[in-house]
Structures are given as structure tokens and as C-alpha cells.
């Protein structure tokens, strides 16, 4: 299922509210929450470093927030750099 722009922006807004502007801008600038396939959430980050930081440090938070907004269970967050989009 493709994630709509409104859902993408809602996830970003909730993350920014939890993390604060400085941390959100450092890690999530340029991120796009793209689609959901069953329990998998696909996210595109600006580069490989941002993708690794999101997967390592924020995957559980992203899964929780996205699950509430999308109203479905998210078990795995797959983060790819935008060059692989």
C-alpha cells in the first residue's frame, strides 16, 4: 500500500514533536515514508548515513508512530537511501 502525502507528513510531524526540531532535522531531513507491505514499512532517507542512523536508533519509534497513524501493525522498518528509490 502506497503511503499518501498526508500520512507521510503526519508521521514526520509526530516524529518532529517527539524528537525536537534539531534532532529531527539532523536525522530525518529529506526522509520519505513510501509504502507498507504487510508488517514492513519502507522509508527513503537522504543518504546512507541517515538511513543507517534511522534503522539503528529510531526504527522502533518510527514503527510505533507509523503504526498508530496508518492503523496497522508495523514490525520492520526498512530504510534505504534515496539513490535506491
- Domain CATH number, residue 79: 3.30.300.180
Q: How many domains does the chain have?
A: 1
**C-alpha grid cell, residue 28:** 530525518
- Residue-averaged pLDDT of the chain: 94
For residue 83, pLDDT beyond 80: no
Q: Domain range for residue 25?
A: 5-84
pLDDT in tens, 44-75: 999 999 999 999 999 999 999 999 999 999 99
Burial of 63 (0-12, 13-18, 19+ CB in 10 A): middle
pTM of the entire structure? Answer: 0.92
Amino acid at each position: 500500500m502506497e503511503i499518501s502525502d498526508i500520512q507521510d507528513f503526519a508521521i514526520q510531524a509526530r516524529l518532529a514533536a517527539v524528537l525536537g526540531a534539531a534532532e529531527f532535522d539532523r536525522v530525518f531531513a529529506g526522509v520519505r515514508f513510501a509504502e507498507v507491505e504487510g508488517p514492513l514499512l519502507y522509508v527513503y532517507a537522504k543518504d546512507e548515513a541517515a538511513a543507517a542512523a534511522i534503522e539503528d536508533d529510531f526504527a522502533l519509534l518510527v514503527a510505533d508512530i507509523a503504526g498508530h497513524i496508518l492503523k496497522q501493525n508495523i514490525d520492520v522498518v526498512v530504510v534505504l537511501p534515496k539513490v535506491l528509490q
